[in-house]
Amino acid sequence: ASIQSGFILMLARFAVRFCSTMTKTIENTVSSSKADAALHRVQDGRVGDDKGENQQKVRVKTNRYAMLLGYQGKNYFGMQIQRGTGADECPTIESHILDAMLDLGWITPELHQTPFDFFFQRASRTDKAVSAVRQMISCQMPIALDLPTHGAEFINSKLPDDIRVFGFRRVTKNFHAQKNCDGRTYSYTLPTYAFAKPTELTNSSFRIPSRL
């Protein structure tokens, strides 16, 4: 009886060891398979979570565009958007452009906060109350928007009357409105009565004589 009990005990211990060994082997195999899968994703350019593998990603085709615009600047605090200040307190040309793009659904709220992410760039900056007859903006936008055909019409419907977009043109993928600018022309205008003598009438009726 004691021999039989010892044999049964030995079989039980062997069974426990065998199951433990098989479990570790299976775990190592699964772990290795997951590691190989992750490595294949890196090699294939698919770095990400496995959960999204069965979900087909929608890729939006985009192009780089040049936006030509002009504006009367007396109601604005310059061209470039000013972070950290309220848009109502310090409105700028860019703040209105980005707001219009957001209202039209051309950009997401995230892109509205980080316009550099869609390569939004101006050719030059203008100061407070300074106007521009021609100003250029470059940006990366979806092809489906058909900006060269209807872009100016749509965005002008969302802009103030003193900011007008004249049109969009497709440009090369590396076009940068600031870096690829060939030149900038500035014109300084002041009223003629600025040249009047202190003793002369200084209002809008003043005219400079043909010969001083």
Hey, which residues are catalytic here?
A: 127
Residue that is written with structure tokens 């190592």 in the block: 28
Q: Is residue 206 exposed (0-12), middle (13-18) or buried (19+ Cβ within 10 Å)?
A: middle
